[in-house]
Structure 1
């Protein structure tokens, strides 16, 4: 990994800072405690160099060291900073009361999502005690092509950007309903643009249907999306039409609070 550290001259980056950040990324990717030797091996750096970086990160709270075996893990300081970042996202603050009202009215799970590096990233989740328990959590990443929120984003991106995302991420199949051919996805996205909402019809998970709508900021760009999810039996016929109507209305209201003016 050390060879991936950018040269200072190439991007005005400080190599020691770059190495420290790579250690944080390494621990985040492995999602477990790691020893000095393991980290040094992965980084392809001398233990003495890595030790100094680890000690500095530990002293500032970005890492914690186990008193039993001396291994390192991510520290609570990162959690604090993460919450600061999360709280600074206006879309979360603005959308929060609307999301809760949807949960209270529909009794189903509601997600708030952004598009990040071609994938959908879940930044808020609210669920009713009576709703279908969905295996998702804040921080979860899912493909865009087979989720309602993902299709909302793709439908509002330039065609070339959509092609680039699909070329990189592919069209993996998760269920029998997953769209795995690009021309069919294009047709689906055209329909999403026309109707202003997207439906995930058992495309990521069997027996699960989702309705998603875009949230637009003051520039008119889709900055986020919300979705409500439930079982097929609760998301069909007149009830589905009612849910779609409510979601479209709430999506517009949140967008207005984000400064969007049609």
Structure 2
């Protein structure tokens, strides 16, 4: 048996959701025509929403726009989102799929912090732990985040941090790193090839929040010998897909479905 819906509440939600189509302001007539409701019905619903702060009227053209109450509620929800809790089932799913170690990191100023890790079942594993910090310029997770910062912020970070070379493969030239970042942004994933540790390879992907900002990323880390040319496309697809699912759960609308 279908649940009984309250028609007036359902219609009020329809009015609010009209603004998801990109309209910044709507008149009573606009809403009436879009929803197929009488102007009198729309007027009553709008006045109730306005009274509660969900809509506000522009005194110049008498049209309505979203009110600050929705911003207040949205900010509250955003503050309560726990990325680790949200990401955990997708991390487990990815580990089961690829049988390799998966990391979740967040940006903390100009460094990274591992906030979640799940080991793969393989005998050779990765030396890392939750709470460990990592450099942003030479890790797959770091470059996946750095690639989605604006140019000014990238320049600031690369000029501020110590561009340490951990192996002979670590790239420390700023312009070369910026070229890599452009490629990462075009492809939607990053690669790390023994830049932080000999014998270690990594595929990373950005995680977007509801504002479209990137301050977290997901990665699959594996001994390089297991990331063969034949297997690489599978790992890339898996990491991008898992990161996209987490982004959608955080409220990001534009992430593609892989």
Question: TM-score by structure 1 length?
Answer: 0.65
- Is 2:121 aligned against 1:129? yes
Structure 2 CA distance, aligned partners of 1:143 and 1:216?
20
Does 1:151 find its partner at 2:143?
yes
Select 1:178's aligned residue among 170, 180, 183.
Answer: 170
Structure 2: 5+ residue runs without aligned partners? 1-79
Alignment partners' CA distance in 2, 1:165 and 1:218: 24
| Structure 1 residue 201 corresponds to structure 2 residue 174 | no
Select the residue among 217, 220, 225 that pairs with 1:228: 220
**1:234/1:240 contact within 8 Å kept:** no
- Distance 1:107-1:155 versus aligned 2 partners, 3 A rule: same
Determine which structure has the larger helix proportion and give its number: 1
| Structure 1 counterpart of 2:92 | 100
Distance in 2 (alpha carbons) for counterparts of 1:200 and 1:132: 18
Aligned equivalent of 1:252: 244
Q: Extract unaligned runs of 5+ from structure 1.
A: 1-87
Higher relative contact order (CA 8 A, sep 6+): 2
Q: CA deviation at 1:97?
A: 0.3
**Shift >4 Å, 4+ stretches:** none
Find the structure with the greater CA-based Rg: 2
Q: 2:180 aligns with which of 184, 188, 207?
A: 188
Cα RMSD, aligned residues only: 1.5
Give the total of aligned pairs.
Answer: 176
Q: State the distance in 2 between where 1:213 and 1:132 align.
A: 23
In the TM superposition, residue 156 of structure 1 has moved relative to its aligned partner by: 0.6
